[in-house]
Chains A and B, each alone.
Chain A
Amino acid sequence: MRGSQHKKESDNLLQCIGEKLSKSTDLEQRSLGTSDQQVNLIYLKSVSHSATVNRFVISPFFEMKDEKGFEEYIASFPGSKPSHDIKEILELLLGGHVGIFFSDNKVYLFDAVRVEAGSVADAQTEVIVQGPSDSFNESLEVNLNLIRRRYQSSDLKAETTTIGHKSKTKIAIVYDETRIEPEVLKELKKRLDGISVDILQAAAELDKYLSGNKYRLFPTTIVTERPDRAVFNISEGKIVLLVDTTGFAVVLPAVFNDFFTAMDDKLQVLPVGWFLKGIRYLGLILTVLLPSFYVAFTSYNPEVWKVQIALLVAGSRATVPYPSYVEVLIMLLMMEFLTEASLRLPKAIGPTATTVGGLILGTAATEAGLVSNIMIILVSAVAISNFVIPLNMMGFTIRVVKYPFILLATLFGLLGIVLGLVGVIMYLCSLRSFGKPYFKIFGIDRVRITNSQKERENG
């Protein structure tokens, strides 16, 4: 009597799940064994590994011939878990587990997750000259492996949560327990809980949801594809979020200076490293300010320049029929089109675009007298110095930031640029990344904390 009741319950569960997953061609439902020793299998072919199922579930069943023994065999697998909650079972099935329904009413979920991810490839967006060149790939396990192998300490913790009502994206919070600041972790968890989206597909998206303020201009978390950067930041007391199905990790909290650090800076001799960093900041200043300085100096304050240069610019602009800000805007927009086009074009056509755009357009425009020669030099300098910034997120921000400066220079001249500078400095200083100040000229505070901790750890 009791047995039959149990039987009914288990059958109900199976039927219910079968209904929920109906109309899916990849649903696989099998009954194994004879009528008195019946085991039911249910799984999704697309996300479960069929070979694993065949080899470790189906074959052993027929070899054993004893349901009790088979149940123990299944239960002993790492990743197998018993469950009776329909919601949990459904979730795990969708995640790639195999549901095994035994005749004595036990239900086991067997881990046969199939992960389709490329192998560990070279870094694409953050290329460096020397140093490790592997990058994260789309599998969370592989990414964790890449980090664990570089950080072999029991202090390294990895907690997982899921985000996205539909996508159920797994997220691993990876950090060094002894070095992080607990408030940051608390704040992060609070914010992760607050995220309510259907689908999460990219690490950069996570960064957007985490920061709260939609209209913020600067990235306050680093999105990186380099395991060595992630590991370095973990050792500095930061938290790394690994997002399953994306090849990128999110590092937080970030400070402004982090975006100007390339991973091979540390490999260089110290003065060379300083020089490289100096160059990057110089590039930043040039790319943001050059166009607006051009507008301010040609339209408002030609007296700032030496006479020779003022005459040179005026001579070069003699044929240009419109004010300097129009000239600057036209050329900068052309440059933006060019960058954007060469980014999206198939590799085979790419060089053509640059040739047509850069060489022909530039030369022809000056010869036609639409744009001054100096303008062309300036635009190229702006474009090149923009690419000096090692992290893409910041690079894109800086691309946008120069336009407000041009507007200010058009309205106020030199004064406008100074206004803009003070405004940007104030804005940067008011930003916080998970409660930590984002922009400070000396990052000494953090280093000192880690040093004292290092001493403690070493005894």
Chain B
Amino acid sequence: MVKNKYFYYLFLINALINVVNFVPRGLIAQRFSGAMMAIVISVPIGLLLMYLCIKMMSKFPGEGIPEIFNANYPKPVTKFMLFGHTLLWYIAGLITLIAFVDVTMRYITSDVSPLLIMVGFLVVVCLAIRVTAESILYALEVVIIINVPIIIYVLFKALLNPMFSWDAVMQVITYSLKAPSYGSISYATFIFTGYLNLAVFNRAFKKIRVRHIWMIGVVGFLVLIASVLIPIGYQGTIGVERHVYPWFSTADVLRTKNFIVERVLFFFYFTYLTLSLVSSIVHWHVALEMLKGVFLTEEKKKRKIDPEWWMILAFCIVAFFAMRTNQFFRDRAGLLFLDIRLAAEFFLIASVYLAYKRREAKKRE
């Protein structure tokens, strides 16, 4: 059992990782048509969903979604829903990994083949997703504590730079009153999605209770503002749309004079690679547990090879196939995922609520 503070880390990891998952790209594309408003609106929506989810999950202390569904829904429904969630979480992790293979190729080591990089990622991630939820939370804490100072350093470096164009930022802010599209709201709410990992990580919490939820709102809002506006401040209101990974291009602009390393990009890369890996581990751990909920409902006899390995193997094979897609497809798929995700969140919370009602009804009988 872990303390409630680990919930904040689950939120933070998703909030920080948005830079890799196409969130700035999606929002920047709509910077003149409601992205700013979407950011403002996303805060109450995200917080409301988060609050509901915490409320629901606290009704099932120490239980994850697979257990809750299996106990309260008929089997086919459970299997269908769990499989759907598996797919979403799997894709969330996959997008992060594939995006990072791409980033690595572009910015760091173009000498290593992308396939080898993917193998490296998969080995670490696949070995790590099998450990207990508690262990992953501890690792999450360590990684975030190590990396947040570096991120703050990069942010200060970026904001204090005299070349930062506040005019460009101001110009984008003047478009604040445009009505946002569903798409831009769903991109922006991704920041708050970390709470949804409770679906499995709730197993590690005694009875989840989160204080100062407004603080999460403030932090989320600031993160969103920073991740959209800082690239605009450096690359201009128009030029910014030409970058696939606006944040990495922005970090590459910065220079530090005090270390033996001159380009801030490398600090940024180090930070985001560790964060992305851990975020993928979190997502895939959830996916794996969900998938286990689909196939291993009742205790089966001990097999020579743990069936988990077959699932992990499937994860890896799909990942290699996904590597073959091109940039446009990935970009489109990434944003489409963000769209579907928001609807799925509503659906998940509603289904937990229904499960709770059904359990209460059963108790009363």
Interface residues of A (CB under 8 A from B): 300-301, 303-307, 309, 408, 411-416, 418-419, 421-423, 425-426, 428-430, 437, 439-442, 445
Residue pair A419, B124 in contact (C-beta under 8 Å): yes
- B residues within 8 A CB of A300? 109, 111-112
Given contacts A416-B120, A441-B142, contact A306 B274 (CB under 8 A): no
* Distance between B19 CB and nearest chain A CB, rounded to angstroms: 16
Selected A-B contacts with CB under 8 Å, 24 pairs: A304-B266, A305-B262, A307-B262, A412-B112, A412-B120, A415-B104, A415-B112, A415-B273, A416-B120, A419-B124, A421-B274, A422-B124, A423-B124, A423-B127, A426-B124, A426-B127, A426-B131, A429-B131, A430-B132, A430-B135, A440-B141, A440-B142, A441-B141, A441-B145
Flag B252-289 by CB within 8 Å of A: 1 or 0 each.
00000000111100100110011001100100000000
Contact of A426 (CB < 8 Å), options: B104, B135, B261, B270 = B135
Q: Which residues of B contact A412 (CB under 8 A)?
A: 109, 112, 116-117, 120
**What 8 A-B pairs come out closest when comparing CB atoms?**
A430-B131, A429-B139, A429-B138, A430-B135, A426-B128, A413-B109, A429-B135, A422-B277
User: Inside 8 A of B120's CB, which chain A residues have their CB?
Assistant: 408, 411-412, 415-416, 419
Question: For A439, what are the chain B residues with a Cβ–Cβ distance below 8 Å?
Answer: 138, 142
The reply on B136 being an interface residue by CB < 8 A is: yes
Q: Does residue B134 face the partner (Cβ distance < 8 Å to A)? A: yes
B259 to A, closest residue via Cβ: A306
In the assembled complex, B81 has its CB within 8 A of some CB on chain A: no
Q: Residue among B111, B120, B134 with the most chain A CB within 10 A?
A: B120
A304 touches B142 (CB 8 A): no
Shortest CB distance A446–B (Å)? 13
Known: A413-B111, A429-B136, A437-B138. 15 other contacts (CB 8 A): A301-B109, A304-B263, A304-B266, A305-B261, A306-B260, A309-B260, A418-B273, A423-B127, A425-B142, A426-B135, A429-B131, A429-B142, A430-B128, A430-B131, A445-B3
Q: Which of B114-153 contact A (CB under 8 A)?
A: 116-117, 120-121, 123-124, 127-128, 131-132, 134-136, 138-139, 141-143, 145
**B108 in the interface, Cβ–Cβ < 8 Å?**
yes
Q: How far is the CA of A442 from the CA of B3 in the complex (A)?
A: 12
Q: Which residue among A306, A419, A422 has the maximum number of chain B CB atoms within 10 Å of its CB?
A: A422
Distance (whole angstroms) from the CB of B61 to the closest CB of chain A: 19
Name the interface residues of B5-23: CB closer than 8 Å to any CB of A.
none
* Cβ contacts B77-88/A at 8 Å (1 or 0 each): 000000000000
Shortest C-beta distance, A426 to chain B (Å), equals 4
Contacts of A440 in B (CB 8 A): 138, 141-142
Contact B108 A415 (CB under 8 A): yes
Nearest-neighbour CB distance to chain A for B90, whole angstroms, equals 19
Contact B266 A414 (CB under 8 A): yes
How far apart sit A441 and B120, CA to CA, in the bound complex (Å)?
A: 26
- Neighbouring A residues of B132 by C-beta, 8 Å: 430
Chain B residues near A408 (CB, 8 Å)? 120
Nearest B residue to A305 via CB reads B260
Collect the chain B residues with CB atoms within 8 Å of residue A426's CB.
124, 127-128, 131, 135-136, 139, 281
Q: Name the A residues within 8 Å of B273 (CB-CB).
A: 415, 418, 422
Residue of A nearest to B262 (CB): A306
Chain B contact residues: helix, strand, loop or mixed? helix
Whole-angstrom distance from the CB of A248 to the nearest CB of chain B? 29
Would you give the shortest CB distance from B285 to chain A, in whole angstroms?
Answer: 11
Give the complex CA separation of A429 and B143 in angstroms: 11
Known contacts A411-B116, A426-B124; A306 and B261 CB within 8 A of each other: yes
**Cα distance A437–B136 in the bound complex, in angstroms:** 11
Chain A residues closer than 8 Å to B134, beta-carbon distance: 437
CB-CB under 8 A from B260, the residues of chain A are 305-306, 309
Q: Give the chain A neighbours of B138 by CB distance below 8 A.
A: 429, 437, 439-441
Bound together, the chains give a CA A275 to CA B273 distance in angstroms of 29
Q: Which residue of A lies closest to B256 (CB)?
A: A306
Interface centre among A425, A426, A429, A442, by most B CB within 10 Å? A426
Which residues of chain A come closer than 8 Å to B135, judged between CB atoms?
426, 429-430, 437
For B100, give the chain A residue with the smallest CB separation.
Answer: A415
C-alpha gap A209/B108 in the complex (Å): 44
Q: Which residues of B contact A430 (CB under 8 A)?
A: 128, 131-132, 135, 139
Closest approach, in angstroms, between the C-beta of B160 and any C-beta of chain A? 21
Q: How far is the CA of A443 from the CA of B277 in the complex (A)?
A: 25
- Report the minimum CB–CB distance from A192 to chain B (whole Å): 25
- B121 x A419 contact (CB < 8 A): yes
The chain A residue with its CB closest to the CB of B271 is A418
User: What is the minimal beta-carbon distance from B75 to any residue of chain A, in angstroms?
Assistant: 32
Query: In the complex, are the beta carbons of B274 and A413 less than 8 A apart?
Result: no
Q: Specify the chain B residue showing the minimal Cβ separation from A408.
A: B120
Selected from B3, B104, B274, the residue in CB contact (under 8 A) with A422 is B274
B123: chain A residues within 8 A (beta carbon): 419
Chain A residues with CB under 8 Å of B142's CB are 425, 429, 439-441
What is the CA–CA distance of A301 and B108 in the complex, to the nearest angstrom? 7
Distance of A307 Cα from B117 Cα, bound (Å): 27
Interface contact B111-A418, CB-CB below 8 Å:
no
In Å, the complex CA distance between A408 and B274 comes to: 15
Cα–Cα, bound, A303→B261 (Å): 9
How far, in whole Å, are A19 and B194 apart by their CA atoms in the complex? 75
Q: Closest residue of chain B to A300, judged by CB?
A: B109
A445 to B6, CA, bound (A): 13
Q: Distance (Å) between the CB of A443 and the closest chain B CB?
A: 12
In the complex, residue of chain A having the shortest beta-carbon distance to the beta carbon of B134: A437
CA distance A220 to B281 in the complex (A): 25
Q: How far is the CA of A336 from the CA of B136 in the complex (A)?
A: 34
Q: Name the A residues within 8 Å of B277 (CB-CB).
A: 418-419, 422
A421 neighbours in B (Cβ, 8 Å): 274
- The distance from the CB of A452 to the nearest CB of chain B, in whole angstroms, is 16
CB distance from A38 to the nearest CB of B (A): 64
Q: A325 → chain B, closest Cβ, in Å? A: 14
Query: Cα distance A440–B142 when bound, in Å?
Result: 7
Q: How far is the CA of A192 from the CA of B156 in the complex (A)?
A: 55
A136 to B: closest C-beta gap in Å: 33
**One of B108, B131, B278 near A413 (C-beta < 8 A):** B108
B97 shortest CB reach to chain A, Å: 12
The one of A305, A418, A445 that contacts B274, using a Cβ cutoff of 8 Å:
A418
Give the shortest distance, in Å, between A257 (CB) and chain B (any CB).
12
Residue of A nearest to B111 (CB): A300
B contact residues around A415 at 8 Å (CB): 104, 108-109, 112, 117, 120, 273
Residues in chain B near residue A423, CB distance under 8 A = 124, 127-128
Q: Closest chain A residue to B5 by CB distance?
A: A442
Q: How far is the CA of A411 from the CA of B121 in the complex (A)?
A: 13
From residue 268 to 327 of chain B, which have CB atoms closer than 8 A to chain A? 269-270, 273-274, 277-278, 281
CA distance A421 to B124 in the complex (A): 10
Kindly list chain A residues whose C-beta atoms are within 8 Å of the C-beta of B281. Answer: 426
User: Which residues of B lie under 8 Å from residue A306 when comparing CB positions?
Assistant: 260-262
* Complex-state Cα separation, A426 to B140, whole angstroms: 9
Interface centre among B112, B136, B139, B273 (most CB of A within 10 A): B139
For the complex, give the distance between the alpha carbons of A412 and B104 in Å: 10
Residues of A within 8 A of B127 (CB): 423, 426
Question: Do A413 and B266 touch (CB < 8 A)?
Answer: no
Distance in Å from the Cβ of B123 to the closest Cβ of chain A? 8
Residues of B within 8 A of A425 (CB): 139, 142-143
Known: A426-B124, A439-B142, A441-B145. A414 touches B261 (CB 8 A): no
